[in-house]
Structure 1
Amino acid sequence: MLKSIALIIVSVMNLATTPQTPAKISSPVVETSMSKSELGDLQEKQVHFPNGDHYWSKRIDFTASSAKRFRFTWVIEGKNGTFRYLDRQQGKAAWKTIPLQNPLPKATGFITTDKTSTILSSPAFYREQTHETIYDLSSQASPVSVQETKHGYALTYSYPIEKQTTAEVWALQSPATLIDWKQPDLNVIWSGLDMHENQKWLAKGFYVKSPSTYRPTGKNVYWRIPDNYLAASFIKTGGSRAADDLGWVMLQTALSAQTKAGYWKSGPCSTWLLNDYNIGCGFYDTRFNTDLAELLLRGYQKYQERQFLQATLTYSHYLFKHIDQEKIVIKQGDRQGWLVPDYGYEGKHKQSNASLNHMLQEVNYLYRLYLQTQEEKCKLYAERILEGIRLLGTKWIRSDGNLHYAYLPDGKIGMQDYPYLTYNDLLETQSLLQRVYGQKDPVLQRLMDAKKKWMDAHGVTGYRVQESKNDVAVDVDH
């Protein structure tokens, strides 16, 4: 399935040449509360980090309407405040720093005073719809107002009070510097992290604009995607205190959306999945799910958070079940491999296509999980999928040198591949094969060489030029 995937590829320097086990890390303390008023239901979340940082979010679901406006007010300590934000006017993005004064631009902002460092969300206002989607109404929220006080600044969010709408705000605060803007790489990294326009970070998770093939859809419709591109940058790239804090918060938030079966549903209906495969709303997307499961594994390695490990292990069992039930068996003489359909659904449905990039990510995830847990089943299933890819060999290569996207239910190979996503996946697979077996795969190398030649001939940039080496092994009892 062709989707618009925002990928931020950043090279990370690995300071260790051998896996190391980090020191034990204390878990953040999470507090949640709910209260009711005549206007609506208020939900609050507080996350207190061992390093002294503090994340909080406030959300009110209005159950009544009023001509008045609802206000959130909170105080930032310190003087000489500044507000740093990404100005995206006229299609260009540029960092701007202005005095912390009234009113603030409607943007995710980075506030600095002589006492604190804060990341402040843009005002979020929306109406929840069916199938884990929202209709964005943020244009109706007022810009954040600023009032200088004796000890700091009072910041106020103002929203319309309209029944069946929701208002939200979140912030991350620290007595230390959250992001060192003197590091040029961090300016580049954070300029690509959209938290309030085409993507939104909200109390229930990560949302992106709904594709035209999804229902519901529309200019202002966003859906909660199982994957999280922001968390991917925070976990894989890091580089700042803010990334470490927000990465943990986002992974912890994702846990509540995991089903009892072990996966994360794509809530909306996809018209082409429904028409072609009878796959309805609330389907299972192997790429989005496996991406998130890999992040949870990396999150466990980074934070030593047991609940992240348990969540990814639970998902792996569901992935095994999906493979067992849906797999396409490819045979060639005595050799046998598997291709894994991209989608699953709890209702009766037809077998879907099996995309090369989806399967490579499954292979990569299972090898990573094997390296972490030494669970042989992970390696066995990864080998079976890899063998299925190998048995098709150069059939994956199109006549123009690009790669085909997927193996189709009718036995043909076709569809348009992404510009460079599959190449990055292949590079990662080769790196993992080197770690597990001490050698790379020649069939995959031929696919990589063909894709690389096609990318260079067509001016495609942004693909990875080196293998990922920033992995840390952590001992685990399971």
Structure 2
Amino acid sequence: MRKWNNAIVLTTLFFICSYQSVSAQMTDVKYIDVPNHHWAKNEIMQLDEMKVITGNFDMQFHPETPLTKGQAAVSLSKIFGSKFIDKSYGFSDIAWGSDKARFALTAVENGWIQPSERGVFGFDEPLTKTELWNSLITAFDMEKDFAKVLSTSWPSSSDRATLQNIPVYTFPQVEEYLHYGDSIVSRAYFSKALHRILVETNRIKHTKQFTLTAPEESVAYSKSVPGNHLGSVPFSTHPLYLRSEEAFEYKDFTQINYGFSRDSTYTYAVGTDGAEIKLTVRELPNEDVFVFSELNNPTDATITVEVLQKEEDIARFNLFRYDRYPLMRENTDLTDADMTTYPTGLLRFIKTDGSVEERMIGQAYLSKQLSLRYDNDEQSVSRELIEEQENFTYALAGKTLLSSYTLQADSGEIADHWYVDSDEPLFNSKNDIFKWMRETSQNHKKRNNWYTADGSYNKLADSTEPMPVSGQNYGRTLLMLKEDRALTLYHENKGRYFENLVYNAFVNLKNFKQDKAYWETEVTSTYLKNLYDIHAPFIDTRFNEQIALFYYNIGGEFGIPSANEPLRNYADLLVSQQRKGNINRVASDAYYIADYFPIKQKVTTHTSMNHALGGMNILLLSYQEFGDWQYLETARNIQRAIVYQKDKWIRDNGDIWYKISPESTFEGDDYKHLTLEDLIESYQLWQQIDPSYLPTLEQLIISKATFLSNEKLGYTTKIKKGLKEIGLYEYLPDGDEVTDAL
């Protein structure tokens, strides 16, 4: 006796019989492996419309792959109806209570399909010709000779080489399409047979003819093959999926709310030996999202995982590539040069409603984690870059675009990738797009391109450790995390991409700092190690100063909670250094604060002029913001030291010495522009608080600016603006204007 629900059967039959006959018309292709010339495309498309048999979310139907027992059970259940059958037993290969269990139990209870063995349904096992034949006879109450009414057919499996181009299909018996002998049945043959039986039993009253548009694939796009594992990522804004030859399993989900942005991280175990992939979706206040992918492979085998994203209603799209502008490298010495380039490009979607969406696509980066642990259990960490790869490919079926981002990691490697999605244009115009790409090609070392959920990685100096033999040592550089150039461009043109980079910078800085009081440098400088025997982690005063200013100056504009707290915290740290002994004293009322504070080691380092000025400027800003007299007093101590030694700081050529050592010697070549920017800012701050210090600062500014002019070293935009504001524009150095201080 049949066990299906009569109400569901009536509803299903009404749905099936409601199809109206239509003439062949152009229809968007749905599956890239079922093109217009496919021999079973009409039956596949009509059954797909009826939801009787469907393909995968990666736009593949796999017509020539074996039909499984589970797929047959699903199709028959959808035709005749199904309900969950309350049984005390289940199948060991199917999760109890799942849709699979419902379909399998329905098929068994109605005698359509027999379990492979006691307690095992065999959901993913191929169905043979005999098994399918028995299923169809039972499901449709067919007589043994019922096949004689099927006078139209299609090629047998022996004709596989000509399947693509046969226009007419004839054969006398249904056994022909079930293959000769007890062989495996393909999904296309099943679709053809099932469709014909539904027609002959009057369950499909009108057949449909489809003329399909042509699918499109990029050159390197790889279709999935039988045995590939597919899965969806539970993120609602954009459909995200994973595809891999290795089985993967959902492992963990974490979410961090930053008050202005939110990270949702999905972790999957890949294979059985410890590999995993993390997808971090970073939602920004403007509703744009970063998607960061990290494949970590500690196994002995190569692991490959694709991250897929599907976009619907695409009228057309275009990829604006960065490599339209040749990369301008300073050198190509592998042990010294930064071998990263720039992102792949900007993918622009024109939707069917005329709206524009854009996605900036990064490259994939293969690296190995480096770590050097010291006797006091502290360590220096970085990455060795193995290779930068372009990993974007796509397939287009009708108005649906499937983007693929392939991550492949050999043993011990990490593969990273990123992109940022927006439902709005990321740039105001094509000119702005190309201008940014051109600038990036010219200044690629000063533009971030290797983004991860934990921050951006940049080429480190050759004076860092651990240093791989390749010289390709990359780390998270605190100053590069700040995205200063993106901030400048956002203020100039309000470009959405630059806004996203700034939001991302705040998240990265938060993640880097974690629960520590300050931002600690995580890579050892052998320059400092050789001078003072200090190593990572340590506090770099300049880095903390710049980050505090970053928060203070624009945190409110970007809605960052407690944006002035880093300023207060860092000012407190500077004030505390006299008590801790991290100073280079000049007189009883004058001293410089050391540049670096080791976390555990007890040593006082040198003071560079730019660090001294930067710290003093922070103290003055903090005094203005919070009114704490300790900030002003500490700033006076630093400024008095500069006043007492101003003549010693000026070199014979007019330049400024780089630093004063703990032994009170002046030495080192100064930065070209950075110190002049700091001097101008100090002038502006003391001008508001105590003008008595201005003559000393003016002397240093004029001397430094004159040196730059004599050497034709140019100036930054910030120097140009600053000299104008303080009335010293006549000392603007000769040479070119640049955006970044050197």
Task: Check whether TM > 0.5.
Answer: yes
**What's the CA shift string for 1:175-201, capped at 9, x where partnerless?**
222122456699259724648988633
Kindly indicate whether the alpha-carbon contact (under 8 Å) linking 1:76 and 1:116 is maintained by their aligned counterparts in 2. Answer: no
Give the match for residue 89 of structure 1.
326
Q: TM-score, normalised by structure 1?
A: 0.80
Unpaired runs of 5+ in structure 2?
1-258, 331-340, 351-355, 372-379, 726-742
Equivalent residue letter for 1:304: G
C-alpha deviation, 1:435, in angstroms: 4.2
Give the match for residue 299 of structure 2.
64
CA distance in 2, matches of 1:268, 1:113: 41
Structure 2 vs 1, CA of residues 352 and 30 (structure 1 numbering), >3 Å: closer, same or farther?
A: same
1:118 and 2:359 are equivalent in the alignment: yes
CA distance in 1, matches of 2:284, 2:327: 39
Give the match for residue 207 of structure 1.
457
Kindly indicate whether the alpha-carbon contact (under 8 Å) linking 2:620 and 2:685 is maintained by their aligned counterparts in 1. Answer: yes
Equivalent residue letter for 1:91: M
1:412 and 2:412 are equivalent in the alignment: no
CA distance in 2, matches of 1:430, 1:79: 57
CA distance in 2, matches of 1:449, 1:49: 44
Alignment of 1:200-349 (within 5 A): 200-218=450-468, 219-228=471-480, 231-238=483-490, 239=493, 240-258=495-513, 260-325=515-580, 326-331=582-587, 336-349=589-602
CA distance in 1, matches of 2:624, 2:483: 22
C-alpha deviation, 1:90, in angstroms: 6.2
Determine which structure has greater relative contact order: mean sequence separation of CA pairs < 8 Å that are 6+ residues apart, divided by chain length. 1
Q: TM-score, normalised by structure 2?
A: 0.53
Kindly indicate whether the alpha-carbon contact (under 8 Å) linking 1:211 and 1:217 is maintained by their aligned counterparts in 2. Answer: no
C-alpha deviation, 1:162, in angstroms: 2.3
Structure 2 vs 1, CA of residues 181 and 364 (structure 1 numbering), >3 Å: closer, same or farther?
A: farther
Equivalent residue letter for 2:326: Q
Alignment of 1:5-84 (within 5 A): 27-38=260-271, 40-67=275-302, 69-76=304-311, 78-84=314-320
Structure 2 vs 1, CA of residues 320 and 232 (structure 1 numbering), >3 Å: closer, same or farther?
A: farther
- Of the structure 1 ranges 116-125 and 301-310, higher mean CA displacement relative to structure 2 is found in 301-310
CA distance in 2, matches of 1:167, 1:299: 33
Sequence identity, in percent?
17
Give the match for residue 423 of structure 2.
175
**What's the CA shift string for 1:267-294, capped at 9, x where partnerless?**
2322232222121232222112221222
C-alpha deviation, 1:449, in angstroms: 0.5
Give the match for residue 19 of structure 1.
none
CA distance in 2, matches of 1:400, 1:107: 42
- Of the structure 1 ranges 147-156 and 448-457, higher mean CA displacement relative to structure 2 is found in 147-156
Specify the SS of the correspondent of 1:291: helix
1:367 and 2:620 are equivalent in the alignment: yes
CA distance in 1, matches of 2:474, 2:608: 25
Structure 2 vs 1, CA of residues 32 and 370 (structure 1 numbering), >3 Å: closer, same or farther?
A: farther
Number of aligned residue pairs: 430
Equivalent residue letter for 2:413: T
Equivalent residue letter for 1:450: S
Specify the SS of the correspondent of 1:245: helix
Give the match for residue 145 of structure 1.
393
Specify the SS of the correspondent of 1:303: coil
- Of the structure 1 ranges 288-297 and 432-441, higher mean CA displacement relative to structure 2 is found in 432-441
Give the match for residue 100 of structure 1.
none
CA distance in 1, matches of 2:551, 2:278: 25
Kindly indicate whether the alpha-carbon contact (under 8 Å) linking 1:35 and 1:41 is maintained by their aligned counterparts in 2. Answer: yes
Give the match for residue 207 of structure 2.
none
Structure 2 vs 1, CA of residues 440 and 321 (structure 1 numbering), >3 Å: closer, same or farther?
A: closer
Rg: which structure is higher? 2
1:402 and 2:655 are equivalent in the alignment: yes
CA distance in 2, matches of 1:59, 1:279: 32
Structure 2 vs 1, CA of residues 386 and 52 (structure 1 numbering), >3 Å: closer, same or farther?
A: same
Structure 2 vs 1, CA of residues 29 and 210 (structure 1 numbering), >3 Å: closer, same or farther?
A: closer
Give the match for residue 383 of structure 2.
134
Kindly indicate whether the alpha-carbon contact (under 8 Å) linking 1:65 and 1:161 is maintained by their aligned counterparts in 2. Answer: no
**What's the CA shift string for 1:46-102, capped at 9, x where partnerless?**
232343322222222223243453222223453432223433536379xxxxxxxxx
C-alpha deviation, 1:423, in angstroms: 0.8
CA distance in 1, matches of 2:547, 2:437: 20
Alignment of 1:152-163 (within 5 A): 152-163=400-411
CA distance in 1, matches of 2:638, 2:502: 30
Give the match for residue 182 of structure 2.
none
CA distance in 2, matches of 1:201, 1:295: 20
**What's the CA shift string for 1:93-113, capped at 9, x where partnerless?**
9xxxxxxxxxxx973422222
C-alpha deviation, 1:311, in angstroms: 4.3
CA distance in 2, matches of 1:68, 1:274: 38
Structure 2 vs 1, CA of residues 406 and 30 (structure 1 numbering), >3 Å: closer, same or farther?
A: same
CA distance in 1, matches of 2:397, 2:346: 19
Specify the SS of the correspondent of 1:227: helix
Give the match for residue 476 of structure 1.
none
Unpaired runs of 5+ in structure 1?
1-25, 94-104, 471-478
CA distance in 2, matches of 1:179, 1:469: 31
CA distance in 1, matches of 2:344, 2:525: 31
Give the match for residue 701 of structure 2.
448
Kindly indicate whether the alpha-carbon contact (under 8 Å) linking 1:63 and 1:163 is maintained by their aligned counterparts in 2. Answer: yes
Structure 2 vs 1, CA of residues 310 and 137 (structure 1 numbering), >3 Å: closer, same or farther?
A: same
CA distance in 2, matches of 1:379, 1:132: 37
CA distance in 2, matches of 1:70, 1:196: 31
